[in-house]
Structures are given as structure tokens and as C-alpha cells.
Structure 1
Amino acid sequence: MLIHGNAGASVEGIWFPYLRRELEALGHQVVAETFPDPIKGRMRYWLPYLTDVIRPDENTVIVGHSSGALTAFRYAETAPLLGTFAVAGHHTDCGFELERRSGFFDRPWDWEAIRANQRFIAQFHSKDDPWVPFEVAEELHGLTGSEFTVMDGMGHFGSYDQQMETFPELLDAIRLRLDSPLTWQEDR
């Protein structure tokens, strides 16, 4: 399952088509749909869409970019997933009004449930992300205990004016995780 970020993002842009094409070529079923309310990315629309329309389960891996990772984490508070790949993920509004008003931050996060309801959490973050400070990513890593891949020069991984049509590092991490029978806890 691929979930884009807000501010008008979609699964038709950046590296999503590449990732979908490569994963399908490996025989994986990929769900990639543009969520309702893609500009504001409000939880009141995104979480029910994920829960009631997409309906992931304990065999689903979510790749969430930015606000897409927020959706995966909120979902995992109450339902099982196989795992989450959080790309430029965060857990605060990072000082942005659009994020603050999204509803994702209106209540505390249940990190214990988020960790318990999935076999792994992997995180990709670039030190030069202009929207999600690296310190926020480090805090998220501490809260989730994620496998943390730190990169440099990747910005917000293709959002806005940055051109990023492929993401082989993410593809390799997904392939490795899907090929591995080990759970997240066994890997530690």
C-alpha cells in the first residue's frame, strides 16, 4: 500500500510509479490510490478511507510518504499491519499550520500499540529535509524503535520542486524485508 503526502501530492508523482512498477514486477500486489482531500490531508478523511475502503490487514505493508506515514501510524494504533516504511515521516506538526489543522496531532500517539501491531517499522529520512527537521526524525526513531536509514541530499524525497523519479534504496529495503521471515523484534 502506497500512501502519498498532503499539499496536493498523489501516487502519480515522484517515485511512486517507479516503486509500484518494480514491486508488481516482483509479483507483489500494490494498492496505490490518491486519497481524498489531498491538499489538506486531514485525518478525518484519510483514516476512514484507509480503514473502510482500502482495508489493510496483518499482511499489508504501508509505504507512507510524509503525511502518509502519519496515516499508517494512526491506523496501527488500533489494527495490525505487517509493517510500515515511513519516508520523511514525522509525529509533530513541524510548525506548519496545514499540518496542525490536519487532525493527526489532536491526541497523543499510542507508540506502544503502534509498535505492537506490526512486525517492523523502517524509516528513511534525509538530513536536508526542508519540511521535517532531522531532529523530529530522530525523535520518531526513538519513539518507534524503527530501522533508521539516514540519507543526505534527498530533501523531502521528491516533494514540491525536487525531481525524484526513482528510489532504489527504498525498493531494496522493501525487497529485503518482504523476503525475510524474521520479525522486527528478532532482528534487533
Structure 2
Amino acid sequence: MTSKEGRNHPSSHVSFPEPIGRRFIRLGMELYAAHVIIGRNQPALFVLTSSSSCKTQNKKNTIRKMSEKPELLSPLKAVIIPGNGGGTVESSLWYGWTKKRLDKIADFQCLLRNMPDPYTARETIWLPFMKSELQCDARTVIIGHSSGAAAAMRFAEKQKVYGIILVSAYTSDLGDENEKASGYFNRPWQWEKIKLNCQHIVQFASTDDPFLPWSEQQAVADNLAAELHKYTDRGHFQNTEFNELVSAVKNLITASQ
């Protein structure tokens, strides 16, 4: 019944909308209560709906979700990306020696493989190999030496990894045709993306490197805010043992625990 007489009749069951002024006051009180529950220093999220039947449990779930932090993944493996030049990497420089020692760490492994296109080390070949064959991912520490360091940095521009350890890293092709053909140096480095995709960045560099000017090694450290291990007598790190590197990997594992 919609007549004036029906609306004024005591037995009528017709209901009326809540006055606008009263509705705003009630809504303001609800928002203030939610603010008190969440806390002044916590971000607040308020969802306005057409219904006033919000459940208490839904409010608790919202508050819980806002306070949760993303879980930080711990590393499960290291992957050594060697410099270019070919040969059997297991018996080259410190690669095999390091793998054996990292394999002894509980619940951890180290992968070391002969790379395709070993002399030119083309980015278009190495990076897909790192993703599909070596399965570099968010729980991987990539150890890159020389050309392998360039590959590690380019990989981290696009993929999340636990960390990268750069040995003898540089920023340009140094006027070398083979380095130019690799493809790593044909565009600017995306330093911010690398930092965003890595929880940890460690660098080993030496001022007496016969192939790399110190300015390029320092540029890597500066742009990536790397944990720099600077030496004056290690050259291009072509030794057969690398205790400091093993310690660096162990420190990254410890940092995740």
C-alpha cells in the first residue's frame, strides 16, 4: 500500500530508508572503529559496500592480510657461469674446486656445466640455457666469472634470483670484436632492475686485472651497490682455489636462515 493513509497506519509494515544524515554518522563511527583496531601506524584499507552486513570475520581477515609479510626464500643451489674460452669447465681455474666444496653444504648443490657457444658466449644462447637447462630461479645464487658475470647481470635484469656473485665484472665490450659479438654490451645496463631482482649482490674485483680497467669494475660496484671485495693482487681471478668465494656463498645461505 502506497497511499498517504497506509503509510500513517499503525499496523503498516512498510519500511523507510535510513535518513542520509544518520547514515553518514553511523558510517563515520564504523570507519573510526576500524582505524582503532588496525592501529595508527598500520596501513588501512576500507571497502565501502551497498550492504551494512559486514561480518566480523571478514574484518579480521582483512587486518591479518595487511600485516602479513612476503616470505623470503632461502637459496637451494649455486650455478657457476664460467668465462668464455671453451674447454672442460670442471678442470678449469677454480670452477671444479668450488663446486666440490659447495656440494658438501647440507641441503645445497652447485651446478657447473660446459656452456654452449663457449668462445663467443652469446647472450641469446647463454641466457636461455641458464633458464631452461640450469634452471636459475629465485632460489639460485648465480656465480659469474668474466663473460659469465655479464651473463649473470643480464639474466638478473629480467629474472628474479636469490643473489649474484660477480667475479671480474665489467660494463663494456672494451673495443674487442668478440666481446661486441656476445651482445651483452649493445645497450645500457638496467641497474635498478638488477637490484630489484636480487636479494644479494656480491662482487670480487682486483685492481691489477690485466684485462679489465678498474674503472669498469668500480662502475659495477657503484651502480649495483654491491658488497665489494677489492684486491690488488688477484688479476683476473684465474687461480685454482677460491676460499673467499666459498665463504661468500655460505654467508648468503646463513643470511636466509
TM-score by length of structure 2 reads: 0.66
Residue 129 of structure 1, aligned match among 201, 209, 213: 209
Amino acid across the alignment from 1:168? N
Q: Give the alignment of 1:23-172 within 5 angstroms.
A: 23-27=102-106, 28-158=108-238, 164-172=239-247
Letter in 2 for 1:23: L
Tell me the equivalent position of 1:7.
85
Give 1:59's aligned amino acid.
Answer: R
Aligned mates of 1:20, 1:132 — CA distance in 2: 25
How far is the alpha carbon of 1:168 from its aligned partner?
0.6
Q: Hey, what does 2:6 align to over in structure 1?
A: none
Kept after mapping to 2: 8 A contact 1:94/1:133: no
The answer to whether the Cα contact below 8 Å between 1:42 and 1:102 also exists between their aligned partners in 2 is yes
CA RMSD of aligned residues (A): 1.3
Q: Percent identity?
A: 35
What TM-score, normalized to structure 1? 0.90
Query: What secondary structure sits across from 2:228 in the alignment?
Result: strand
Q: Structure 1 residue 171: deviation in Å?
A: 1.1
How many angstroms apart in 1 are the aligned matches of 2:232 and 2:252? 23
Secondary structure in structure 1 of the residue aligned to 2:212: coil
Deviation (angstroms), 1:9: 5.5
Counterparts of 1:3 and 1:78 in 2: how far apart (Å)? 17
Instruction: Name the residue aligned to 2:250.
Output: 175
Runs of 4+ in 1 over 6 A off after TM superposition: none
Higher helix share: 2
Post-superposition Cα deviations, 1:42-89, rounded to whole Å, max 9, x if no partner, equal 111111111222221110000000111111111111110000000001
Counterparts of 2:127 and 2:194, CA distance in 1: 15
Cα distance, 1:7 vs structure 2: 2.3
Deviation at 1:131, TM superposition (A): 0.9
Question: C-alpha separation between the residues in 2 aligned to 1:31 and 1:142?
Answer: 29
Shift of 1:23: 0.5
User: Structure with the greater relative contact order (CA < 8 A, sep ≥ 6): 1 or 2?
Assistant: 1
- Residues 10 and 147 of structure 1: is their aligned pair in 2 closer, same or farther, counting only changes over 3 Å? farther
Secondary structure in structure 1 of the residue aligned to 2:103: helix
Number of residue pairs aligned between Structure 1 and Structure 2: 177
Which protein is bigger by CA-based radius of gyration? 2
Contact 1:2 1:11 in 2 (8 A): no
Identify unmatched segments of 5+ residues in structure 2. Answer: 1-78
Provide the C-alpha distance between the structure 1 equivalents of 2:88 and 2:209, rounded to a whole number of angstroms: 19
Aligned pair in 2 of structure 1 residues 10, 96: CA closer, same or farther (>3 Å)? farther
1:110 CA drift (Å): 1.1
1:40 Cα deviation from its structure 2 partner: 1.0
CA–CA separation in structure 2 for the residues paired with 1:56 and 1:145: 22
Secondary structure, in 3 states, of the residue corresponding to 1:26?
coil
Taking the aligned partners of 2:124 and 2:256, their CA distance within structure 1 comes to 35
User: Shift of residue 95 of structure 1?
Assistant: 2.5
Any stretches of 5+ residues in structure 1 without a counterpart?
A: 159-163, 183-188
* Alignment CA distance shift 1:10-1:133 (3 Å): farther
Q: Which residue type is aligned with residue 170 of structure 1?
A: L
Query: How big is each residue's C-alpha offset from its partner over 1:102-141, in whole Å with a ceiling of 9 and x where there is no partner?
Result: 1111222211110000101100011110111111100111
Greater CA deviation, 49-58 or 132-141?
Answer: 49-58
